[in-house]
Amino acid sequence: MTTILRGRNIGVTFGKFQAVRDVDLDIETGHVHSIIGPNGAGKTTLFNVLSGRQRLTAGRIAIDETDVTAQPEHLRSRIGMARSFQINSLFWTFSVLENMRLAVQARDYRIARSVLRSDADRSEEVSVATSLCVSIGLGDQLHAVVDHLSHGQQRRLEIGLALASKPRLLLLDEPTSGMGVDDLPAMASLIRSLKRDGYTVVLVEHNMNLVMNLSDRITVMHQGRVLAGGSPAEISSDGRVREAYLGKGLDRA
Ligand code: ADP
Ligand code: MG
């Protein structure tokens, strides 16, 4: 096992309020590692700290052995980290393939900087973008306008756009939020295929079914701290975890 991301003593305060405190986190290469916890536990704050969007007020973060604590999001993406795009960053009136081409262009400096792109560059860009669309299960929707996709398809496209930067470590914040049950299996199988393809995935997710089925490791947060960490089996039988969810039962938290 190699550790791709290591967080130590991570703390975030907003004014006097401590949203995250003393969090240690080890993400192993190739794992799907989920971060769960009741509302207000600090999951999104921690997620933003890992991606570099939110400054931490204590602690440090390393990717591989490189300390990235002070690095903003765009620098972390150069060493292989990407977060899924937010749904409001999609171009609604463009097709799936056009959105993907823009993401590929944005990440491929050689192509993006040249107004005089050659036909070979263009066709390579289209072929890279097409295969990315296929990998997220939208191969039969290449020319569909994004606005006409189902919510679940749009959420998969967000993940696909992140893949255009060729990350090794992918951060997904609530990929199933707002999604109908019909779209859940496709998202589950996308995350499974990401793992199969060798990506390391950090997943913040409410849907316990999905978390328990897909995760190699789970970190449970509660009131800004790590309450428990372990395999899905260990977490689902942990009394403190059940208590933190106020007896809701983990499968419906
Ligand atoms: P979760 O994602 O687990 O629901 P969050 O990380 O969003 O939790 O929030 C953790 C706590 O920090 C909450 O009490 C929330 O109100 C607070 N919080 C989050 N962001 C801010 C902010 N920008 N300013 C002040 N308080 C915040
Ligand atoms: Mg949240």
pLDDT band for position 34 (cuts 50, 70, 90): very high
- Mean pLDDT in residue range 101-126: 74
User: CA-CA distance, 130 to 99, in Å (whole number)?
Assistant: 11
Nearest CA to ligand 1 atom 7: 44
CA distances from 65 to 4, 61, 150 (A): 8, 10, 40
In terms of C-beta distances under 8 Å and separation of at least 24 residues, what long-range contacts does 74-78 make, across chains too? 76/51, 76/52, 77/165, 77/167
- Looking at the structure, tell me whether residues 218 and 243 fall in a common domain: yes
* pLDDT for residue 113: 58
CATH number of residue 176's parent domain? 3.40.50.300
Structural domain ending residue among the three candidates 109, 141, 166: 166
- 95 within a domain of the structure (yes/no): yes
Q: Output the CA 41–ligand 2 centroid distance in Å.
A: 8
Percent of the chain past pLDDT 70, that is, above it, reads 92
Confidence of residue 111 (pLDDT cuts 50, 70, 90): low
d(CA 137, CA 186): 8
Measure 85 CA to ligand 2 centroid, in angstroms. Answer: 16
Asked if residues 74 and 83 have their Cβ atoms less than 8 Å apart, the reply is no
If pLDDT is split at 50, 70 and 90, which confidence band does 242 have? Answer: confident
pLDDT for the residue numbered 120: 75
Measured distance between the N- and C-terminal CA atoms of the chain, rounded to whole angstroms = 31
Q: Which residue has the higher pLDDT, 119 or 35?
A: 35
Most confident region among 51-55, 113-117, 249-253 by mean pLDDT: 51-55
Atom from ligand 1 closest to the CA of residue 12:
12
Atom of ligand 1 nearest to the CA of 42: 6
Same domain as 232, residue 152: no
List, for residues 165-175, the tens digit of each pLDDT value.
999 999 999 99
Note down the domain range covering 127. Answer: 90-166
On the question of pLDDT at 77 being above 80, the answer is yes
| pLDDT given for residue 33 in this prediction | 98
- Is residue 85 in a domain? no
Q: Of 106, 139, 166, which marks where a domain is finished?
A: 166
Q: Given this model, what pLDDT does residue 123 score? A: 85
Write down the pLDDT at residue 115. Answer: 60
Would you say the CB of residue 43 lies under 6 angstroms from ligand 1?
Answer: yes
Q: Whose CA is nearest to atom 5 of ligand 1?
A: 42
Domain boundary among 130, 150, 166: 166
Which residue type sits at 213?
Answer: N
Same domain, 73 and 101: no
Distance 205 CA to ligand 2 centre (A): 9
User: How many angstroms separate the alpha carbon of residue 201 from the centre of ligand 2?
Assistant: 17
**Pair 196, 250 in one domain:** yes
